[in-house]
Amino acid sequence: MEWFVAVLNFIGQQILNVPAYLIGIITAIGLIALKRSAGQVIGGGLKAALGFLILGAGAGVVVASLEPLGNLILAVTGAQGVIPTNEVITAIASEQYGAQSAYVLVLGFIVMLLLARFTPLKYIFLTGHHMVFMALLLTVVLSVGFGEELGWLVVLVGALLLGVIMVVMPAFAQPWMRKITGDDSLAIGHFGTLGYIAAGASGQALGRRSRSTEEIRFPQGMKFLRDSMVATALSMVLIYLVFAIWGLIALPLEEALGFFGSEDAGAYIMDAFALALQFGVGVAVILFGVRTVLGELVPAFQGIAEKVVPGAKPALDIPIVFPFGANAVLIGFLSSFAGGLIALAVLAIWLNPVFGLALILPGMVPHFFTGGGAGVFGNATGGRIGAMVGGFVNGVIITILPAVLLLVLGEFGFANSTFGDADFGWFGTLIGVSLLGGPAIGVVLSIVIAVVLVVAASVFQRRVVDRGWTPGAARDAHLAEIAEREKAAKANA
């Protein structure tokens, strides 16, 4: 059986874990289903894969520019605790549970396809690295609950739960995705979805009269800020320089210089400036990669929808929404980070002493990607206020939930990291709590959870998504009325 495990590991780690390969293969399959020529199939598949590689390159640039800043902020503020990093906790846990999680990943993908084919939940989750993260999380939680001797049960239950969560969450988020993109061709495939839905709902509740972040009016002398790339870079320059100067004041010189690898104070300031501009470059590359992927994947996906899973929509990674609200991404990121700081204070003052919850430090990278996405969702329903409130709510969620999740991770609850995004927190905790009564009760409750989620999402799909409910419709009508009044006033003038 070792060869079979090796094959599954290869499929899971080398193909499903690489979004570019998965997207390229899916695009090629779609073009084949549409009976395109061999050249079109190869070209379309390669271009889609290259688009995702471009997106990944941009994300890498952003991560490389944010990590030194995040470390500097933690140093100058003196914060100590656990930093949620999906990649780190996955690397730690895969040493013990890698083989089992490979089974869970491959079988879970099959379960997802079956659910997409035979239920109203026509979503195909294509964010490969998040599949790997969720598969490993479920393997760890189930292994803690069932014990090492029931590994086969871990695989079966884990695959069922993985397949379910991959079709359920895109369905619940689809009304907001349709609002953002303007059509029904895309879904969100990212396990920060609870935060995005909360951001959209918060924006709808509090931003009824707020205009879009993309309509921010600048004074005549600041028109250059209408370019989102320029505005993003300039904003980050200010943030980097503020904390860089703070670092020089609050820390010993050698320690401060070490964060950017600088030789002296002058180089240190200019290194901070360069990293800020690098962040702007990374965001621009991400936006270009997203547009490249969409240009190839969405048309090709129609072939899969027609032949394999009728009506299926691709559920893609969160940067897919960034081009629909570039200003909202920055606002959401900063608001999410602020929410994380406030939630950290709550943990330190109340939840840690009373309940023993770990202190979750705000990581710049998860707050950028999930906070930026939350900003776009909040802006879609509540404009500028929605982007700020939505980002803030997301920041609170991805600080509190990882602290709760640590309680059900067994020995990995003592690692200096944990899974960070919202859905890992609530879903992992829910499954972990259901296993407290023992393996038999745990299996029953896990199946009940899976069935309830599928039924609830199917009802939501039929009664809400398919009937065209649009979040924030009242705000749209109000803003349209204001626009008509302004137009009439200009005409009369």
Q: What confidence tens digit (pLDDT) does each residue in 432-484 have?
A: 999 988 889 999 999 999 999 999 999 999 999 999 898 987 787 777 777 77
Tell me the C-alpha to C-alpha distance, in Å, between residue 315 and each of 4, 95, 122. Answer: 29, 29, 10
CB neighbour list of residue 438: distance below 8 Å, 6 or more residues apart: none
Per residue in 284-299, pLDDT tens?
A: 888 888 888 777 777 7
Tell me the C-alpha to C-alpha distance, in Å, between residue 288 and each of 152, 166, 186, 225, 323. Answer: 43, 26, 17, 19, 9
- Please report the pLDDT score of residue 60 as a whole number: 84
3-state secondary structure the chain: CHHHHHHHHHHHHHHHCCHHHHHHHHHHHHHHHCCCCHHHHHHHHHHHHHHHHHHHHHHHHHHHHHHHHHHHHHHHHCCCCECCCHHHHHHHHHHHHHHHHHHHHHHHHHHHHHHHHHCCCCEEECCHHHHHHHHHHHHHHHHHHHCHHHHHHHHHHHHHHHHHHHHHHHHHHHHHHHHHHCCCCCEECCCCHHHHHHHHHHHHHHCCCCCCHHHCCCCHHHHHHHCHHHHHHHHHHHHHHHHHHHHHHHCCHHHHHHHHCCCCHHHHHHHHHHHHHHHHHHHHHHHHHHHHHHHHHHHHHHHHHHHCCCCCEEEECHHHHHHHCHHHHHHHHHHHHHHHHHHHHHHHHHHHHHHCCCCECCCHHHHHHHHHHHHHHHHHHHHHHHHHHHHHHHHHHHHHHHHHHHHHCHHHHHCCCCCCCHHHHHHHHHHHHHCCCCHHHHHHHHHHHHHHHHHHHHHHHHHHHCCCCCCCHHHHHHHHHHHHHHHHHHHHC
239 Cα distance to chain centroid: 23
Give the torsion sign (CA, 141, 145, 151, 155). Answer: negative
CA contacts within 13 A on the Cβ side of 102: 19
Answer whether 134's CB lies under 8 Å from 165's CB: yes
Please give the structure tokens belonging to residue 250: 């609050």
What is d(CA 20, CA 46) in angstroms, rounded to the nearest whole number? 9
* Domain boundaries defined on the chain: 2-325
Beta 123-125 vs 187-188: how paired, if at all?
unpaired
Taking Cα atoms as reference points, which of 324, 336, 254 lies closest to residue 66?
A: 336
Question: How many other β-carbons are positioned within 10 Å of the β-carbon of residue 415?
Answer: 14
- Please report the pLDDT score of residue 338 as a whole number: 94
- Please report the pLDDT score of residue 16 as a whole number: 66
What is d(CA 466, CA 397) in angstroms, rounded to the nearest whole number? 29
Taking Cα atoms as reference points, which of 188, 144, 241 lies closest to residue 376?
A: 188
Taking Cα atoms as reference points, which of 380, 399, 411, 390 lies closest to residue 331?
A: 390
Long-range contacts of 216-220 (CB under 8 A, 24+ apart): 216/327, 216/384
Total residue length of the chain: 493
- Please report the pLDDT score of residue 61 as a whole number: 87
- Please report the pLDDT score of residue 150 as a whole number: 77
- Please report the pLDDT score of residue 208 as a whole number: 80
Backbone angles phi and psi of 37, in degrees to 5: -70, 165
Q: Is 81 left (phi over 0), alpha (psi -120 to 50) or beta?
A: left
Please give the structure tokens belonging to residue 213: 């972040």
Taking Cα atoms as reference points, which of 85, 325, 88 lies closest to residue 196?
A: 325
- Please report the pLDDT score of residue 222 as a whole number: 61
What is d(CA 323, CA 376) in angstroms, rounded to the nearest whole number? 9
Average pLDDT per 10 consecutive residues for the chain, totaling 493 residues? 72 70 82 85 88 83 85 80 78 79 86 93 89 90 83 91 97 96 91 97 88 76 65 84 90 90 90 91 85 77 73 90 91 93 90 81 87 95 94 96 86 68 94 90 94 97 92 78 75 70
Give the torsion sign (CA, 465, 389, 180, 27). Answer: negative
Answer whether 285's CB lies under 8 Å from 157's CB: no
The CA-to-CA distance between both ends of the chain, in Å, stands at 81
The whole model's pTM is what?
Answer: 0.87
Answer whether 260's CB lies under 8 Å from 232's CB: no
Answer whether 189's CB lies under 8 Å from 315's CB: yes
